[in-house]
Amino acid sequence: MTEASIPEAEPVRLSRRDTALVIVDMQNDFCHPRGKLFVPTSPATIPNIRSLLEKARRSGVRVFFTQDWHDKDDPEFGIWGEHALAGSWGAEIVEELKPATGEVVVRKLRYDGFYGTSLDHYLSMHGVKNLLITGTVANICVLHTAGSAALRWHKIYVPVDCVSALTEFDLKAAFRQITFLYRGVLTRSELVELT
């Protein structure tokens, strides 16, 4: 068997006209130490995502947030325990990344930000081709959303300093799938130029 490798993060230059920033599940339950499914490396990504978010806002790049959002008896709780319960503090997006007026928050039922949501509608309505995907958990909701975007022929870009997972292995597994299977490009928040 040959060794799998993960490409280096590279500089990217994207046009505001056909690019969107997607921030996946940066909610208290995943990103706050008191959250129900806390990802310990996620708080370190908040300033990086925030700088990308500010860059997107300055350059007029559209911003979409996904928000995991479950009813009381959601079968997903059988896997993970209760989290992101509709209307709860845990389901709120972290204070530092609060959506601004006009930014779309897509409430999602499962790992995939496209499944049963209006994300596809908004992206095609605005002619978005490139997606900068950030957030958590890298190998779960970020990967499923990135994969679903790639299956729709969006070009995906993932800044490695803007995603987090429970283990280094999970993070690498996500990067491998994103680059190898979905032909995504790895970058870093400071290497993203929006024009």
What is the binding site for Zn ion (CB under 5 A)? Answer: 68, 76
Which residue lies nearer to Zn ion by CB, 76 or 190? 76
Smallest distance from Zn ion to CB 85, Å: 10
Question: Which residue, 130 or 148, has its beta carbon nearer to Zn ion?
Answer: 148
E strands in the chain: 12-14, 19-24, 62-68, 104-108, 130-136, 155-159, 163-164, 185-187, 192-194
Beta strands in 25-77 (DSSP E): 62-68
Residue 109, beta-bridge partner list? none
CB 187 within 8 A of CB 154: no
Phi, psi of 9 (to 5 degrees): -70, 140
Distance CA 184, CA 166 (A): 21
Nearer to Zn ion, 68 or 161 (CB): 68
User: How near is the Cβ of 76 to Zn ion at its closest, in Å?
Assistant: 5
Q: Nearest distance from residue 103's CB to Zn ion, in Å?
A: 21
For residues 139 and 41, give the distance between their C-alpha atoms in angstroms, rounded to a whole number: 14
Complex with Zn ion: residue 17 or 110, whichever CB lies closer: 110
Kindly state the smallest distance separating residue 173's Cβ from Zn ion, in Å: 19
Of 48 and 66, the one with the shorter C-beta distance to Zn ion is 66
- Least distance from Zn ion to the Cβ atom of residue 104, Å: 19
Residue closest to Zn ion (Cβ): 68
